[in-house]
Amino acid sequence: MSGTMRERVDRICVENNAEYEKRVAAIKADYEKDRAKGAFQMIRVLVAVAVFVITGWVVISYFEAQAYNRVTGSDVSTIEAMFVQLRVQAAPK
């Protein structure tokens, strides 16, 4: 190879290396964005499950309190039904 040919080959190699480095940096940036999206999505799912479970607990406690109030004639709130085990014992006949 002549001196000018060698210089052209070196310049092409440097240009290709710079393009390669740019592509690698773009791929790394995309990977980090996707990784952050995945973590955020997991947090959203966990929050949704927690809200669903708590809502279910409140609804079940509401109906439990209503049934207890209907049977005993007392005034029990949903909050009390959530944290206190309500029991109706059969009266002797």
Three-class SS state of 86:
coil
The pLDDT of residue 92 is: 57
- The yes-or-no verdict on residue 2 having pLDDT over 70 is no
| Annotated domain spans of the chain | 3-83
- The yes-or-no verdict on residue 3 having pLDDT over 70 is no
- The yes-or-no verdict on residue 1 having pLDDT over 50 is no
The pLDDT of residue 78 is: 93
Three-class SS state of 88:
coil
- The yes-or-no verdict on residue 5 having pLDDT over 70 is no
- Residue 23's closest CA among 52, 41, 15? 15
Cβ atoms 74, 68 nearer than 8 A: yes
- pLDDT of 11-66, one tens digit each? 777 777 778 888 888 888 888 888 878 888 899 999 999 999 999 999 999 999 99
Burial per residue of 30-62, b for 16 or more beta-carbon CB atoms within 10 angstroms, e otherwise? eeeeeeeeeeeeeeeeeeeeeeeeeeeeeeebe
